[in-house]
Structure 1
C-alpha cells in the first residue's frame, strides 16, 4: 500500500508492492488493541450494576448501545477507507478507542457508560472493516489467505484478551474499574506512533467509482451465504455472552470476575484454532463444518442452562470458538480476499456489519426476554433460534461464487 499519487502504484485497481512485515505487524497491532478495548467492560458489568444499582435490562441496554455504534459505523462509513486510505481511518479508530477508555475512567454514571459504549462501538466498527482490508492489502497476492487469518486473529485475539484481562484484574486489584482502562490507554499510546512510523501514509488505490460520500454495499450470492454463516457464529456468541456472567454468579454460585471474563475469552481464543484448521480445507467445506459445530455448540449451551452445570458451558464455549473460526475464515476467503482493492474496505465493512448485528440482536434479546420469563428460558429460546439459523446455513447453497457490490 502506498500513497495513490506516488510512484509505487503501478495501475488502477492493483495494490502496490507490500511494504514489509513491520507494516503488517503495526496494522495488526492497532486492530488488536482497538478490539481489546471493546471487551474490557464485559466482565465488569456486575460491578457497575452493584455500584449504580443497574438492572439486568439496563445492562442489556448498554450492550445494545455498543452494537448500535458498531453497526451504524460499518453501514455508514464502510467505504471510507477506500476513499481516504487505510491508515487515516485506522488512526481514527484508535482515537475513538482512546476516547472510550477516557470516558470509562471517569466516575461511573449511567449516561457516561452509555456514551462510552457507543464510542467503543464506533471504534470497533471502523477498526473491523479497515483493519482487515489493510492487512489483506499489505500482503503479497499469494499470501492473502494468510493475511486474512492474521486479521481475524488480531480481531478475535483482541476480543479474547480484553475480557480475560479485565476479569482477572477485577479479582486482583483494588481499582477494578480503572486499572484495565489505564493499561489499555497505554497500549493505544504505543499503537498510534507505531502505525504512523511503520505504515505508508496512503494505503489504498482511489476507487474506480470516484471519491465521494461513502455508500452502502449491496451483497448477494456467496457474500450473503458467508455473512449469514459467520453471523450465526456471532449470534451464538451473543447468546453465550449475554447469559454466562449472570448464569455463573446466580445459578452456579461462581461470582468470580475471572471466570466471567474467561468464558467469552475462551470463545474468541479458540476461534484462532478454527482459523488454522480452515486453511487446510476448501472454504465451502470449512463453512459447512463450522455451521455443524455451531448447532452442536448451541445444543450444549442449552444443556448447561437446563442442568445448571459448569462443564457443558465450557465445552459450549470451546466448540463455539472453533466452529466460529471455521466460518469466519471461510467467509473472508469467499468475500474480502476475492475483491479488488478499491472495494475491499466496503466489502470488509459490510461483512462485519452483518456479524455484529447478529451478535447484538440475541445478546440484547436475551436481556429483554429474561426480564419477563427468566434467564434460563430466555437463553434456551435464543440458543434454539441460533441453532436453527446454523442449520439453515448448512442447507443453503450460495447463489453465486463471488461477492457482489
Structure 2
C-alpha cells in the first residue's frame, strides 16, 4: 500500500522509529544474562531454560501469520503501539513472575511484540526516510533490529552485575524504555493510506514454483545462521560460565552483543561483495566462526570464542541479508510478502526447535559435548547450503551460455 501522500519524510521521524524498533527488540533478548538466576532460583534444567527461550518463537510466528499485514489496514503507528503494548506486557509479566508458567508467558508476549515490529517497523522506517537517505533505509531498519537484539543482553548483563534484584530490575528498566518509545511513536506521522473499509486477514504462506530453486539454499543458510543466534542467546551463557569460567553478566552480555553487532556489520559488508558470491561468503563466514567456537571448548580459549562470535555474526548477517534479497527479487511482485513471510517462518523455527534439542543434549551429556555436537551439525547444514548454492550458480551459468549460443 502506498504511503500517505502528505507525510513529511523527516530525519527526526525516521530516527524516532528506528530508535523505537531497537528498544522493542532489546526486550526480546533481555533474559539472556538472567537465565542463570532463574536456574539458581527455581532449579530449572538446561532443557527448561531452552524451552522458556523458545516460547518466544511461537509468539513471533503467531504474530507474523495472524497480524503480519494488518498495518496496511490499520496504519503503521497503531500497530507499532500495539507491539509496544505487547512488549510492556512482557516486561510486567517477567517483573511479577514467580515460576515457569509466567516466564513462558513473558517470552510468548515478547515474541508477539517482535512479530508485530519485524515487518511494520521495517516498512515504517523505509517510508519515513528522507529522499537523501532512501538508499540506506533498509540497512537502517535491519541494523536497528540487530543492534536492538544485541543491546538486550548487554543491558541486562550490566544491571545484574552492578545492581540488586537481577530477576526484576532489568525488566523495570526496559519497561521505562518502552514508555519512551511509545511517546516517540505517538509523535510520528502515519505513513500508510488507511482504507475507508478495513479488511483484516491472515498472512498467506506460499512458495511459487519460480522461487523454489533460490529459496531452498537461502533458507538453509538462513536457518543455520539463526540456529547460531539461538545458541548464543540461550546456551552460550552456560558455555561462558562452565567452560571458560567467566561468571560476569557484563562479559556474557558483551559477547552476545558482539554477535549481533557483527551481524549488522555483515549486512553492510555484503553490499561490497559481488551479488553472486554474497550467500557463499556468508556460509564461509559461518563455517569459520563455528570452527572457532568449537575450538574454544578443548582450548578453553576466550579468544577463540570471541573470534568465532565475530566471524559467525558477520557470516550470519551476510547470508541473511543476501538470502532475503535473492528471494525477494526472484518472487513475483504480487506474492513477495507471502514468500518473505515463508522465509521468516523458517528462520524463527531455527531459533526454537534446534535450541530445545541442544538443551536436551546439554542435560543428557554436558555443555562441552553438546557444543561440539551443535558445531558439527550446524557446519554440515551450512556446507549443504553452500553446495546447493554452487550447483544453482553452475546451472544458471550453463543456462546463460545456452541462451547466448
CA distance 1:353–1:381, shift in 2 (3 Å): same
Match of 1:183 among 161, 169, 173: 173
User: Number of paired residues?
Assistant: 387
Q: Which runs of 5+ in 1 are unaligned?
A: 9-15
Structure 2 residue matching 1:285: 3-state secondary structure: helix
Match of 1:216 among 204, 217, 233: 204
Q: Which residue of 2 aligns with 1:105?
A: 95
Stretch of structure 1 that moved more, 21-30 or 182-191:
21-30
CA distance 1:17–1:224, shift in 2 (3 Å): farther
Instruction: Give, in whole Å, the separation in 1 of the partners of 2:16 and 2:156.
Output: 24
Structure 1 residue 321 corresponds to structure 2 residue 309: no
Q: Which runs of 5+ in 2 are unaligned?
A: 397-405
Cα offsets for 1:156-176 (capped at 9, x unmatched): 100111101101111100122
Stretch of structure 1 that moved more, 371-380 or 235-244:
235-244
Q: Which residue of 2 aligns with 1:11?
A: none
Match of 1:146 among 124, 136, 140: 136
Instruction: Give, in whole Å, the separation in 1 of the partners of 2:347 and 2:268.
Output: 20
Structure 1 residue 70 corresponds to structure 2 residue 57: no
Alignment of 1:2-401 (within 5 A): 8=5, 19-139=9-129, 145-200=135-190, 202-203=191-192, 211-219=199-207, 220-221=211-212, 222-335=214-327, 346=338, 348-397=340-389
Aligned CA RMSD, in angstroms, stands at 2.9
Question: How far off is 1:204 after superposition?
Answer: 5.5
Instruction: Give, in whole Å, the separation in 1 of the partners of 2:354 and 2:134.
Output: 32
Instruction: Give, in whole Å, the separation in 1 of the partners of 2:254 and 2:28.
Output: 15
Question: How far off is 1:42 after superposition?
Answer: 0.6
Higher helix share: 2
The alignment's TM-score, normalised by the length of structure 1, stands at 0.86
The alignment's TM-score, normalised by the length of structure 2, stands at 0.86
Aligned partners of 2:60 and 2:111 also within 8 Å: yes
